[in-house]
């Protein structure tokens, strides 16, 4: 009987994919005689703590790496049950300090926000020792909206001021203790707080190593505390090329362009589409509704009024990033496809319920490149800048387009960039990049206009 999927809860934590990945990691390790496992972007550890027969298969041990310092310190602290007892004791002290004078409902709400903000401001500080950081990170992880580690969730469990009840009753403790039990089942467990690109470069020539990489997704910048821009994704791709280790990378269909072109096209990697894992309960008429449905943020409206301006701004950024997924039409089938890139073939992929990625340079050129270049431009443009002016005309910064051309020339060396798109050479000039950005933004604006027009329409009998 397989053990329950466990890990530190967080957005994008691979809860739904973990059962599939557990079987894949096991079979790949047996087939290729791999005896060590490295999770380069460890996150909540769902793929580390749920390895199948870990001690027997990965006899040289397991490495968990996480760049976010607070999360790294929390996982590191779980090597000892004694540390969990200290975490519990110190959280009780935090509750006492913040709630001592909280008697009215408003005072309790303010105390919740005060405790969360203190934890959020301190969890990642490099000067803190491992255990102190882990204490604050426990509050940040379990006390945030959908465990996003950014926005306070006062009403945990749907209960008014449920935050206080949750931490006073130590309701997170069973999760932490289970993770400690699983660490002790491993042959060895090492935790690192390194840059994932540097780590892959360091270990890529180990032929008996399985590396799993779940990077912050391209095109989802606002969902992560430590997001990757285009350059970082490309550096990761370069690090993965010509590796002797077996490597598996997770990505979703909205952000596959850098990996598709650098690894799949240039380096002959394999790519597989997994069953859809993110579903909206129905096709929404409005972006706002879709945001609420996807992430099930049922306490957002009640939480937002309690937020300080900085927290409310973070929440708006989070919602905006999800809105972009909707606006780009990725919810038309009520799902987002998860894709894995591998530097080896999975011979029985059909038996696993996954599909081989079918990609045509000619057929998919406009959408793949259009989306990638559009995202690159949005990353570089000033916050309040526009792509269209009030009359619908382009107002694109040509200097940014020149930077994009330079980035592409630096990272890509394939003839795909000589192809023409609507009579113009794609991505070989700043003017061509500007046209692609404007056309892609126009497509998104037109879809949004249609959505606004149909929003109030009533269905006829």
Region at 432 (left for phi over 0; alpha for psi -120 to 50; beta for the rest) = alpha
Q: Which residues pair with 424 in a beta bridge?
A: 421
Supply angle C-alpha 159, 225, 134, rounded to 5.
70
Mean pLDDT (whole number) for 222-229: 66
pLDDT at 427: 60
Distances (CA, A) of 176 to 94, 126, 353, 424: 19, 23, 32, 57
**Quick one: three-class SS letters along 310-348?**
HHHHHHHHHHHHHHHHHHCCCCCCCEECEEEEECCCCCC
Q: Which of 275, 265, 96, 80 is nearest to 180 (CA)?
A: 80
pLDDT of residue 192 exceeding 80, the answer is yes
pLDDT at 461: 41
pLDDT of residue 392 exceeding 50, the answer is yes
pLDDT top residue among 274 and 132: 132
Per residue in 448-461, pLDDT (tens digit) is 444 444 434 333 34
pLDDT top residue among 427 and 233: 233
Mean pLDDT (whole number) for 113-127: 95
Distance from chain centroid for Cα 299: 22
Q: Which residues pair with 248 in a beta bridge?
A: 212, 342
Read off the tokens for 232.
Answer: 């970082």
Residue 98 dihedral angles phi and psi, to the nearest 5°: -90, -25
Alpha helices in 61-220 (DSSP H): 69-77, 81-99, 105-122, 130-142, 162-168, 173-185, 196-203
Under 8 Å between Cβ of 186 and 169: no
Read off the tokens for 343.
Answer: 């530097």
What is the average pLDDT value for the chain, to the nearest integer? 79
What totals of helices (H) and strands (E) does the chain contain, helices first? 17, 12
Mean pLDDT (whole number) for 50-60: 92
Largest CA distance in the chain: 70
pLDDT at 127: 96
Instruction: Compute the distance between CA of residue 443 and CA of residue 319 in angstroms, rounded to an integer.
Output: 21
pLDDT top residue among 328 and 43: 43
Q: What is the pTM of this model?
A: 0.77
pLDDT at 429: 79
pLDDT of residue 421 exceeding 50, the answer is no
Q: Which of 232, 271, 269, 235 is nearest to 250 (CA)?
A: 271
Per residue in 281-340, pLDDT (tens digit) is 333 333 444 444 433 333 444 444 444 455 455 555 545 544 444 444 443 444 567 889
Percent of the chain's residues with pLDDT above 70 = 74
Question: Of 69-78, 91-100, 165-174, 424-433, where does mean pLDDT reach its minimum?
Answer: 424-433
pLDDT of residue 374 exceeding 70, the answer is yes
- Helix or strand or coil: residue 184? helix
pLDDT of residue 118 exceeding 50, the answer is yes
């Amino acid at each position: 009987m397989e053990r329950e999927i466990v890990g530190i809860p967080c957005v994008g934590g691979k809860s739904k994919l973990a059962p599939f990945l557990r079987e894949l990691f096991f079979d790949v390790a047996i087939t290729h005689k791999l005896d060590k496992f490295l999770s380069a972007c460890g996150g909540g550890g769902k793929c580390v703590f749920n390895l199948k027969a870990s001690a027997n298969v990965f006899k040289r041990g397991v490495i968990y790496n996480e760049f976010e310092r607070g999360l790294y310190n929390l996982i590191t602290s779980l090597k000892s049950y004694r540390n969990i007892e200290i975490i519990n004791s110190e959280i009780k002290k935090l509750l006492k300090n913040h709630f001592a004078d909280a008697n009215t409902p408003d005072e309790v709400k303010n105390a919740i926000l005060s405790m969360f903000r203190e934890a959020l401001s301190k969890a990642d500080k490099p000067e803190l020792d491992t255990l102190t950081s882990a204490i604050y990170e426990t509050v940040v992880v379990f006390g945030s909206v959908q465990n996003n580690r950014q926005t306070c969730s006062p009403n945990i469990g749907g209960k008014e001021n449920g935050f206080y009840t949750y931490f006073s009753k130590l309701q997170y403790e069973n999760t932490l203790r289970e993770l400690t039990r699983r660490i002790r089942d491993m042959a060895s467990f090492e935790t690192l707080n390194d840059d994932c690109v540097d780590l892959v470069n360091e270990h890529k020539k180990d032929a008996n190593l399985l590396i799993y990489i779940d990077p912050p997704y391209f095109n989802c910048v606002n969902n992560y505390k430590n997001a990757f821009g285009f350059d970082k994704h490309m550096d990761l791709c370069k690090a993965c090329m010509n590796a002797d280790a077996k490597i598996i990378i997770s990505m979703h269909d909205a952000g596959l362009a850098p990996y598709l072109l650098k690894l799949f096209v240039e380096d002959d990697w394999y790519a597989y589409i997994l069953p859809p894992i993110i579903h909206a309960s129905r096709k929404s008429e409005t972006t706002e509704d879709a945001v609420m449905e996807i992430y099930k943020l049922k306490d957002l409206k009640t939480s937002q009024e309690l937020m300080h301006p900085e927290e409310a701004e973070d929440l708006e950024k989070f919602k905006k990033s999800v809105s972009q997924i909707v606006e780009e039409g990725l919810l038309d089938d009520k799902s987002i496809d998860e894709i894995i890139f591998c530097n080896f073939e999975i011979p029985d992929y059909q038996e696993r319920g996954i599909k081989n990625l079918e990609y045509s340079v000619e057929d998919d050129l406009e959408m793949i490149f259009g989306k990638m270049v559009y995202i690159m431009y949005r990353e570089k443009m000033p916050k309040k800048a526009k792509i269209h002016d009030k009359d619908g005309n382009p107002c694109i910064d040509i200097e940014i387009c020149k930077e994009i051309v330079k980035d592409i020339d630096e990272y890509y060396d394939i003839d795909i960039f000589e192809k023409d798109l609507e009579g113009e050479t794609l991505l070989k000039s700043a003017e061509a990049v500007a046209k692609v950005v404007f056309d892609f933004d126009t497509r998104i604006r037109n879809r949004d206009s249609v959505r606004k027009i149909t929003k109030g329409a009533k269905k006829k009998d």
